Amino acid sequence: MAPKQTTPLALECKNSDDAKSMSFLTDKKILLGITGSIAAYKVADWVRALRREGGQVTVVMTEAACRFISPLTMAALSGNPVHTGMFSAEAPETIPHISLARDHDLLVIAPASAQTIARLAHGLADNLLATIALASSGPILVCPAMNSVMFQHPATQANLATIKSYGYRVLEPACGEMACGEEGPGRLTEWENARQAILTTFAPQNLADEHVLITAGPTRESFDPVRFLSNPSTGKMGYALAATARQRGATVTLISGPTALAAPPGVRRIQVTSATEMQAQVTECFDAATIVVKAAAVSDYRPAEPQLHKVKKGQATLSLPLVANPDILKELGERRRKSANYPLLIGFAAESRNHLKEGARKLKEKNLDLIVVNDIGGTETGFGANTNRVTLLDRNGGQEEMPLLSKEETAHRIWDAVGRLRMDNR
Ligand code: CTP
């Protein structure tokens, strides 16, 4: 018999730098319901990740879940007592399913077994978790994980359709090899997908009617089959903009130069290599966009005559004639001068000196609505850093200096500024 309540060990996980790790999860109360699936062990890491971002996690486990992972583990990781029974021996005067149902911002059920999904669909209240779901009026996120035949069974599919009709959000399981050895859909979704869905619950939906086109990463300009000109951009800022725009409800197309990053969940990504390829894709996707953000570090020049075969050494010096690449953003700015109905244009200015002066010049010359002036110098703000410190300059003369923030938080501040610009233009 599983213990009714398990008290946490003293395991403190305080953020070392709150300013850098702020997110919409900060101080949010997440109730995590774990059910009987072999994937239960995976959500132990989810608890740590939620706490790292400032979330307060309380865990509820079904009896079957306790067979897969110990409540003691979840108590230690969450820093809170774990609830497993309908009645509390420690505080008999409280009714756990009602107090827990009231006191959270989001209920996440992960992994959600076929049995629990059936319970939810039929409104059963025969264990603590199902009863909390029934008594809860807040958002509920369900992450199924089970054998793929069970997942694809019409009964499970009908139950999933039913809980979606109640307004529960369901994250599709991933395909792949399962613990039982079979292949197919049924693996618990990856944390990144769950995180994106959780953040979407809390993010303002001010981009719900927007189609955002974002460019990110470096471009590569080939000199011969094994060499190219490029820059150290990793794409982190552009990808953070894409992920956060999606969290805020936008349809997002991301045109990306070569990076090591995975496409953010729910984002359409088009991969390109050179500036001219990027230009072609931006032109193609442009008409559908209502906001364009050019975060890519585009190479300004490319080799004039790329060589078909590897250039052999042998000469003491080598000159490499270059030709200018198109300035994609400037072209878009020119096009908008001729049309009233035009997307919002946002550029970046990567500067090592005279930041504001250069930013203001690019804002005007490229005919932008907003420019994000970026210091490429310091270790905390340059290429590849996880943090950034930017100043926003807008076409109405507004100037906003941001503190050092994570790139994700910086992206959210940029979307806040876009929201204000939209209001000004109405
Ligand atoms: N940009 C672009 N096409 C280029 C060069 C830049 O679309 N060929 C865009 C960038 O994506 C960015 C903005 O223009 O949004 C400014 O880029 P930046 O590299 O800061 O400045 P440049 O215009 O290239 O000018 P400079 O290199 O002289 O600073």
Assess whether pLDDT exceeds 50 at residue 10.
no
* Nearest Cα residue to 34 out of 199, 195, 188: 188
Catalytically active residues, by annotation: 180
Give the CATH class of 4-13+206-299+320-424: alpha beta
Domain spans of the chain, in order of start:
4-13+206-299+320-424, 25-201
Averaged confidence pLDDT in the chain? 91
Please give the CATH topology (third level) of the domain spanning 25-201: Rossmann fold (3.40.50)
Query: Residue whose CA is closest, atom 14 of ligand 1?
Result: 329
Going from the Cα of 129 to the center of ligand 1, the distance in angstroms, rounded, reads: 53
pLDDT (0 to 100) of residue 12: 33
Mean per-residue pLDDT for 32-44?
97
Query: Residue whose CA is closest, atom 24 of ligand 1?
Result: 300
Tell me, using a 6 A CB cutoff, whether residue 327 lines ligand 1: yes
- pTM recorded for the entire structure: 0.90
Strand 106-112 and strand 29-34: the pairing is parallel
Q: First and final CA of the chain: distance in angstroms?
A: 62
Tell me, using a 6 A CB cutoff, whether residue 236 lines ligand 1: no
Tell me, using a 6 A CB cutoff, whether residue 275 lines ligand 1: yes
pLDDT (0 to 100) of residue 37: 95
Of the given ranges (22-36, 188-202, 254-268, 355-369), which has the lowest mean pLDDT? 22-36
Mean per-residue pLDDT for 214-223?
98
pLDDT (0 to 100) of residue 183: 84
Going from the Cα of 302 to the center of ligand 1, the distance in angstroms, rounded, reads: 14
pLDDT band at 179 (very low <50, low <70, confident <90, very high): confident
Tell me, using a 6 A CB cutoff, whether residue 370 lines ligand 1: no
Tell me, using a 6 A CB cutoff, whether residue 348 lines ligand 1: yes
On the question of a common fold for 4-13+206-299+320-424 and 25-201, the answer reads: yes
Our mutation pick for probing the ligand 1 site, out of 362, 368, 370, counting the most ligand atoms within 8 A of Cβ, is 362
Mean per-residue pLDDT for 248-275?
98
pLDDT band at 1 (very low <50, low <70, confident <90, very high): very low
pLDDT (0 to 100) of residue 93: 65
Assess whether pLDDT exceeds 90 at residue 186.
yes
Distance CA 350, CA 226 (A): 28
pLDDT band at 5 (very low <50, low <70, confident <90, very high): low
